[in-house]
Amino acid sequence: MTSYVFITGGVVSSLGKGITSACLGAILEARGLTISMIKLDPYINVDPGTMSPFQHGEVFVTHDGTETDLDLGHYERFVRTAHGGRNSNFTTGRIYESVIAKERRGDYLGATVQVIPHITDEIKESVEKGAGDADICLVEIGGTVGDIESLPFLEAIRQMGIELGHDRVVYVHLTLVPFISTSSEIKTKPTQHSVKELRSIGIQPDILVCRSEQPLPMEQRKKIALFTNVQEQAVISAYDADDLYKIPQMMHEQGLDDIVARQLRLDLPKADLSEWEAIVEAKQNPTSEVSVAMVGKYMDLKDSYISLVEALQHGGIHTRTRVNIHFIESRDIEERGVNCLREMDGIVVPGGFGDRGIEGKIETVRYARENGIPYLGICLGMQVAVIEAARNLAGLEGAMSTEFDKRTPHPVVALITEWQTETGAVEQRDEQSEMGGTMRLGAQQISLQEGSLGAISYGKTTIEERHRHRYEVNNNYREQLEQAGLRFSGLSVDDLVEMIEIPNHPWFLASQFHPEFTSNPRDGHPLFIGFIGAVRKYHERELPKVAEA
């Protein structure tokens, strides 16, 4: 039987409920348990797929192709047994959509459909479905206690506590304990009020995780425990850490996993956190330091590329390299040129949508190609590399993607329906999956060319990676581009371009898929380990840096 840990938050948003949930899952997994993880989001969007990265951050894609909240990325990076999917992220919009569909079908037999019991029952059913057969399901509720949007979710988890019993449910509440510098005081009142708000809707937290700048003194922990009716040892100090991957050890040392295990009456072995200790040790003791430019269009909000940022750091962990990422707006390159790239040891162009800054990305690719700088392109980063090669290697003037220019004379990147061949292979695929105007999402099998950089990096010629895109490399231009020096080293089972390389370049590789979604700190990812290894070699070479452009 699955037990449940519900994680709520109060006072302010963005305190780190996702990281707290992921780290708790990591510790419990290290004690031999299988973990499933769910995010309940209070916004009315059916999923995050159409939301702006500036508002919501990265859209994380699961193995089955579900577009989810970025916290699912944290879950998968920290917990190996937490395989996210369609039943791992539920929004208010999706819950209401399901209830309304049932009402239209007559499933409620003419009853008046209400928040209680119909919406809350749907939430409970969704949570139980997402839990699967895991030993423990961790459920994070988005937003903060007191928000009107969160009330149905909070009511649903309150009901589950009564229905399942106290030995199968644990409530963890994350709050803020601010430090007022002008008076040099630590204030516990926000936490007290947050717990009061939670208790007013019928939930008494079993554990408080208190976010603060510095470790919480015992005096404040005792005070919080007294005024919130929480045991003193269950007041956990979640102070600012200089390394994200120190947090599992930090929480374990304060007994967070012991409290959960004790309440759920679980007899567990000691936690083996040696892998996390090794990660922290590797990050703290690098043997080299490099600078990598990430050239994109959402640079003002780093959460837009959080999986990619973490994957680059994972590459650094596994090569003992400190990776300093420089976030560069592609529009700045359009306006000021590529001189800002002159001191970089490697260049990454990530995915994205829309034409803003596209010429800056193309110029970035050209700079990396012509100067022998290690280059890694992801999704759109591969498409702009194809466009650059078409223009400057194959001489196809005006080459572009139809996403940005419908009238381009050379649509080297386009929707499948815009360049169907006579072979039938692509046409058949388009009819089956309706990919002409929709996303290609989730994990798909890819064949890598024997002896290619991609095959050498992975150590095999058949891989599976996740996708999130609409436009594809136009197969009608492949032969011409290959003759110009571009290598199509990875293809899908239905002959779509998945990976490109430039063979005579020190390290130039770009993928249509998103390898960052499957990278984690313990295992790393072959492409990011290979890329950072190449960046390190470039940094340590005896040759001078490239001349100023």
- Are 77 and 317 within 8 A, CB to CB? no
Residue 15: predicted pLDDT: 87
Candidates 308, 298, 290; CA nearest to 344 is 290
- CA neighbor of 23 nearest in space, from 303, 274, 312, 257: 257
Nearest to 295 by CA among 283, 284, 308, 286: 308
CA angle 79, 83, 88 (to 5 degrees): 110
Distance spanning both ends of the chain, measured CA to CA: 64
pLDDT of residue 426: 37
Output the DSSP codes for 449-471: PTTSHHHHHHTSSEEEEEEEES-
How confident is the model at residue 544, as a pLDDT? 53
Q: What is the pTM of this model?
A: 0.92
**So what's the pLDDT on residue 7?**
97
Name the helix (H) or strand (E) containing 27.
Answer: helix 17-29
Predicted confidence (pLDDT) per residue in 148-188, tens digit: 999 999 999 999 999 999 999 999 999 999 988 888 889 99
Distances (CA, A) of 457 to 217, 384, 453: 48, 22, 6
Task: Give the three-state DSSP class for 482.
Answer: helix
User: How high is the pLDDT of residue 112?
Assistant: 94
Query: For residue 124, what is the enclosing H or E element?
Result: helix 120-131
Question: Which residues does the annotation mark as catalytic?
Answer: 379, 514, 516
Q: Residue 302 CA to chain centroid, in angstroms?
A: 12
Per-residue pLDDT of the chain (549 residues; tens, 9 = 90+): 999 999 999 988 888 899 999 999 999 999 999 999 999 999 998 888 777 766 677 899 999 999 998 999 999 999 998 888 999 999 999 999 999 999 999 999 989 999 999 999 999 999 999 999 999 999 999 999 989 999 999 999 999 999 999 999 999 999 999 988 888 889 999 999 999 999 999 999 999 999 999 999 999 999 999 999 999 999 999 999 999 999 999 999 999 999 999 999 999 999 999 999 999 999 999 999 999 999 987 666 667 889 999 999 999 999 999 999 999 999 999 999 999 999 999 999 998 877 788 999 999 999 999 999 999 999 999 999 999 999 999 999 999 999 999 999 999 999 988 876 433 333 333 333 333 357 899 999 999 999 999 999 999 999 999 999 999 999 999 999 999 999 999 999 999 999 999 998 999 999 999 999 999 999 999 999 999 999 999 998 854 555 554
Residue with tokens 């190996």: 80
Q: What is the pLDDT of residue 545?
A: 57
Residues in Cβ contact with 441 at an 8 Å cutoff, skipping those fewer than 6 apart: 61, 65, 66, 67, 466, 467, 468
Q: What is the pLDDT of residue 464?
A: 97
Domains defined along the chain, listed by start: 3-278 (3.40.50.300), 286-540 (3.40.50.880)
Q: How far is CA 72 from CA 82, 220, 494, in A?
A: 9, 33, 29
Q: Quick check: 410 and 477 in contact, CB under 8 A?
A: yes
CA distances from 104 to 96, 100, 107 (A): 12, 6, 8
